[in-house]
Structure 1
Amino acid sequence: MKPFNPGRRFFMAGTAAVTGLLTLPGRGFADSALFPVVETAQGRLRGAHAAGITSFKGIRYGAPTSGANRFMPAQPVEPWAGVKDALYFSHAAPQMPNGRAFAYGDLIVFDRHPSGLGEDCLAINLWTPTLDANAKKPVIFVIHGGGYYGGSGNSFGMDGEEMARYSDSVVIAVNHRLGAFGFAHLAEFDDRFARSGAVGMMDIVSALAWVKENVAQFGGDPDRVLVYGQSGGGAKTSTLLAMPGAEGLIHRAGVMSGSALRSRTADDGTAAAERLLRELEIPTNELHRLQDLPFTRILEAQATLEAADRALGEAPTSFAPVIDGEAIVRHPFDPDAPAISHNVPMVISTALDERTYRMPNFDLSDEGLMAYARRRAGDHAEDAVAMYRAEDPDASPHLIQARIDTDLSFRRSAFRQAELKASAGGAPVWTYLWKWPSPAFGGRYGAVHGIDVGLSLHSVRGGLTGASAESLMMADRIASSWAAFAATGNPNNDEVPDWPEYTSPERATMIFDTEMSVEYDPRAEIREFWQSIES
């Protein structure tokens, strides 16, 4: 089945649609050819029109989160008179500053957050090919990666202009609270902070509610909203699918290299919050003092805790969504797929060499690989290495190491999520495995974590992919699949082979590589090997 065929014809279609603003009373060119104005439920916004796409940046869906609003559910935006400019980004959520010392971070431009950090961060950025309120274009709502601690919808990799043009869709990137500001679970100490361990996720729900109320005015269809993200964005999407507040706001969902099966328990969340309070020297009965501190002081405390953990060889203290019994009522996909998203179709994916981004030992020796395999497979280490080498005789020890770690982390969770979604019945699920390697640094990263992010938004200007005929071909393939999925709830389209639904035990999986194919239960021997060791 190939129900959708996006292509470059949408550039002309999008340009024509925006040009059509000339005939729409009270819209767009009635105000300005370059800076059209749109009426939202909260007030009028001025965007910017260029090359067939109109962008609106920094649209607030919630009030600033400083002071009394810190650790609280998002407060509504006060309606305004006149016209507000939506020409520049909001703050990115407070987070640890990042530099350019690491090659992978440099490739994904993780250090850049236009407009800087701050607590006026509850905003979306929107790109649209038309401002016709009757157009009902699909809506692609992208959640940025960076775990629960970093990243932003303002970032280089979240730019939606090219995808809006290519897919003829409204594309939206969201900012929300991160780290302790979004997920410090303070409920056990003071009822006023009952939702504090979930407010970062509640922010995204508030943004989706804004979409439901307003996106038609920007040419979008509020009943065709695809929510997807990679890494932390995939984990947040997984969590949203189990949140009562998000029910009915998501009509298709995509999880790229970020399948989250469980949320933080209240006990674990409380323990992390207690450590933060001790570092800040704030008693548990004086939580109001947290709202008076500069946000930089809270970030410094987070950094101190993480450094102390690393010095002891322990996993660093982190803040993540907490089951609070109201906003987040259960684990996302444990013990089963959430019933409230039973009718939401999904696409779930991983990349072959995810973990190279966290493994900089590119010159790993055969002896080093075997030592690593013993830590993961014990007495079965030699069998494990032989199996990976048989799969790909040309793979370096470094890539084999990364594939082992990827199979035991990203892929294990993705398998489980897909199995649970498929076994639940209801809407279907499709899966893909990305094998096309990054050309960066001579290909040393392989098919690394994040390789498909820019391409999914039909962008080839990122360092991981480079701009070439081959990268553009891969962008056409994956972006067309997301475009089709947004439009129809099915990723099939003319750019890829027929893509069957994922079912067990067939496990049909699309392989994204130079040569596209569908494989049934790909790498089954490896999956079964690790399952046998753990059983």
Structure 2
Amino acid sequence: MVRGHLTRRGLGLAAGAALVAPSVAAGRTRIPMVVRTSGGPVRLFPDGTYGEVASARGVPYGRAERFRPPLPPRPWRDEYRAEAFGPASPQRGTEPNQSEDCLRLNVWTPDTRPGRRPVIIFIHGGAYSTGSGSSPLTDGARLAARGDVVVVTVNHRLGPLGYASLARLAPGFEDSGNLGQLDLVLALQWVRDNIAAFGGDPGCVTVVGQSGGGAKIATLMAMPAAAGLFHRAVTMSGQQVTASGPLNATRRAEVWLEALGLTPDRIGEVRTMPVERLIEAAGATDPILGGSLYFGPVLDGRSLTRHPFWPDAPAQSANIPMIIGNTRDETLAFLGNDPANAGLTWEALPGRLTPSQMRIDVAPEEVVAWYRREHPQMTPDQVLIRATTAARSWRAAVIEAEMRAAQGSPAYVYQLDWAARLPNGRTGAFHTSDIPLMLDNVRAEASGTVGPEAQGMADVMSDTLLAFARTGDPNHAGLPWWTPYSLERRETMIMDLPPRMEDDPRGDERRFFGRIPYLQPGT
């Protein structure tokens, strides 16, 4: 017990994250459950799913008019009963409850009474086209209870609704290429103006994002409108070195319009078409990358006036402490469930190392020969994952860490080595496997984190996030001393049991692929 409240781990929490959450279970709350926001009163509800906290789900932070910048929400007078998650942005796939009225956020708090609690805002992944802040993997109740912090998750516009660049095709669409980013700016402004009512400190805000969420954060770090709205940043397997150039982005928009059966002189019809048609047309073939159309941030000269991490790290974010993370076997998440990628032979492997998988122009035979010579213990299946990870998914993380080090504001870098399990039984440290560990949700459905050691790994990583959110330094009692990344040593925390520090892990792979120019997908 801590101060009369039962914790999951009993006595003592690392990083000074003592649990002091008051009981809110069974209507016995001792904290105010109605708070006043800029939009109107919001009623919170007890959330005992993972801890004794209160939550407000589906709170409007803005409203979206199609292909226009977001606006503040319409004020309300009666209590907004924040019991249920709000809609996700319209998208392809199986995400439930989709609507264009998607500018909603969720808050978990251990106490709405005034306090100096750090605020952790998680931005979901799914590239820029899928996902929401409603996943059980990103539920904030357990982290809020564990660390006496306020946790927020956010929905925003995705796909063509958030990133179709129509500015060069017709007037009135000047901001259309970055609307999803502008939604996030508005959400951050809402947090600045309202989070104190939920017990949070608006001067101590950490943004955390995985995959596309991390890329959105990297982009926000270069957006003038986002300056001063967050104070620490954590990107997990999600980077954005360069944005889409305006010409490539316009070409994609033209292909999208063609799929809708529209010519540029009829572009205004996209404001009134059924949203299902807009999303379906996003399945057209991308003229630059192949596959379905890529929609992401655009160098529009308005809200985004420079590339996020090229030619250097953005000066406006130099004083923001940063963690940059990746997983050792990123592409196992994309390739590991395909039966065609299991039991490969050396003869078949080059055919699987396609440009769409490695995203760089290199002869696959050269790649195979290098791995066979330098890593003879690896099987063809293992080389497929390691090569595509090193060439495609890891490169941008290295570039961003190098840019921060060169700027003199180095990041803390980690690599997850602890293995999770895919639905087909294959194991590895794959893309997304750090989400339930960082947010302390290993018991959530589809976490992939199984076995008796899963909670121990989550203890290490979630205490890392809590320490970083409080102080800007991730060090805590459960880690060896973690020093920031330098160009001389390339210091990296290996997240495993036990965690350990290494200089330049996978340095030979970094050097081999570093000879070849990297192009951010989408540019």
Q: Give me the TM-score of the superposition, normalised by structure 2.
A: 0.89
Deviations 1:490-517 (A, max 9, x none): 1111111111111111111000112311
Equivalent in 14, 39, 51 of residue 42 of structure 1: 39
CA distance in 1, matches of 2:236, 2:372: 29
Aligned twin of 1:149: 129
Asked whether 1:380 is paired with 2:376, we answer no
CA distance in 2, matches of 1:296, 1:55: 31
Q: Match of 2:206, SS? A: strand
Deviations 1:21-77 (A, max 9, x none): 977xxx62xxxxxxx2111122100111133200000011112x3xxx101111111
Deviations 1:350-384 (A, max 9, x none): 11110112212122223323555698445634542
CA distance in 1, matches of 2:55, 2:289: 46
Q: Report the alpha carbon displacement of residue 450 of structure 1 after superposing the two structures with TM.
A: 0.6
Give aligned-pair identity as a percent: 37
Contact 1:61 1:76 in 2 (8 A): yes
Equivalent in 9, 20, 24 of residue 13 of structure 1: 20
Deviates more, 1:316-325 or 1:244-253: 316-325
Consecutive unaligned residues in structure 1, runs of 5 or more: 29-35, 99-111
Q: Match of 1:76, SS? A: coil
Asked whether 1:415 is paired with 2:398, we answer yes
Aligned twin of 2:169: 189
Change (3 A) 1:88 1:285: same
Could you tell me which amino acid in structure 1 is paired with residue 471 of structure 2? T
Q: Mapping of 1:24-423 within 5 angstroms?
A: 28=32, 36-51=33-48, 52-63=52-63, 65=64, 69-98=65-94, 112-113=95-96, 116-133=97-114, 135-303=115-283, 305-306=284-285, 314-359=290-335, 360=338, 361-369=341-349, 372=352, 376-377=362-363, 380-381=366-367, 383-387=369-373, 389-390=375-376, 393=377, 395-423=378-406
Asked whether 1:521 is paired with 2:518, we answer no
CA distance in 2, matches of 1:180, 1:534: 29
Could you tell me which amino acid in structure 2 is paired with residue 75 of structure 1? L
Q: Report the alpha carbon displacement of residue 18 of structure 1 after superposing the two structures with TM.
A: 9.6
Change (3 A) 1:91 1:533: closer
Deviations 1:113-148 (A, max 9, x none): 3xx111110011111111012x12001000101001
CA distance in 1, matches of 2:365, 2:85: 54
CA distance in 1, matches of 2:516, 2:182: 39
CA distance in 1, matches of 2:278, 2:431: 29
Deviations 1:224-244 (A, max 9, x none): 111111110111010000000
Q: Comparing both structures, which one devotes a greater share of its residues to helix?
A: 1
Q: Report the alpha carbon displacement of residue 187 of structure 1 after superposing the two structures with TM.
A: 0.9
Change (3 A) 1:352 1:179: same
CA distance in 2, matches of 1:20, 1:388: 62
Contact 1:90 1:121 in 2 (8 A): yes
Deviations 1:455-509 (A, max 9, x none): 1110112434335431101101111111111110011111111111111111110
CA distance in 1, matches of 2:384, 2:127: 22
CA distance in 2, matches of 1:442, 1:518: 32
Equivalent in 446, 455, 475 of residue 492 of structure 1: 475
Contact 2:181 2:297 in 1 (8 A): yes
Deviations 1:303-328 (A, max 9, x none): 2x14xx69x99343221111111111
Contact 1:440 1:466 in 2 (8 A): no
CA distance in 2, matches of 1:232, 1:499: 26
Deviates more, 1:462-471 or 1:341-350: 462-471
CA distance in 2, matches of 1:238, 1:523: 24
Q: Report the alpha carbon displacement of residue 189 of structure 1 after superposing the two structures with TM.
A: 2.3
Change (3 A) 1:370 1:142: same
Contact 1:18 1:131 in 2 (8 A): no
Q: Match of 2:420, SS? A: coil
Change (3 A) 1:382 1:266: closer
Change (3 A) 1:20 1:132: farther
Q: Mapping of 1:438-477 within 5 angstroms?
A: 438-440=420-422, 444-461=426-443, 462-477=445-460
Q: Match of 1:204, SS? A: helix
Change (3 A) 1:313 1:465: closer
Aligned twin of 1:33: none
Contact 2:15 2:476 in 1 (8 A): no
Could you tell me which amino acid in structure 2 is paired with residue 120 of structure 1? D
Q: Match of 1:347, SS? A: strand
CA distance in 2, matches of 1:382, 1:297: 43
Consecutive unaligned residues in structure 2, runs of 5 or more: 1-11, 356-361, 519-523
CA distance in 1, matches of 2:180, 2:390: 29
Asked whether 1:478 is paired with 2:464, we answer no
Contact 2:108 2:144 in 1 (8 A): yes
Contact 2:330 2:385 in 1 (8 A): yes
CA distance in 1, matches of 2:317, 2:38: 27
Pairwise CA RMSD:
2.5
Could you tell me which amino acid in structure 1 is paired with residue 58 of structure 2? G
Q: Give me the TM-score of the superposition, normalised by structure 1.
A: 0.87
Asked whether 1:434 is paired with 2:416, we answer yes
CA distance in 2, matches of 1:228, 1:451: 15
Aligned residues: 493
Change (3 A) 1:298 1:501: same
Q: Report the alpha carbon displacement of residue 297 of structure 1 after superposing the two structures with TM.
A: 1.1
CA distance in 2, matches of 1:296, 1:74: 21
Contact 1:465 1:471 in 2 (8 A): no
Could you tell me which amino acid in structure 2 is paired with residue 220 of structure 1? G
Q: Report the alpha carbon displacement of residue 12 of structure 1 after superposing the two structures with TM.
A: 4.7
Change (3 A) 1:387 1:94: farther
Could you tell me which amino acid in structure 2 is paired with residue 161 of structure 1? A
Contact 2:119 2:469 in 1 (8 A): yes
CA distance in 2, matches of 1:454, 1:85: 28
Could you tell me which amino acid in structure 1 is paired with residue 206 of structure 2? L
Q: Match of 1:419, SS? A: helix
CA distance in 2, matches of 1:190, 1:499: 51
Q: Report the alpha carbon displacement of residue 15 of structure 1 after superposing the two structures with TM.
A: 2.5
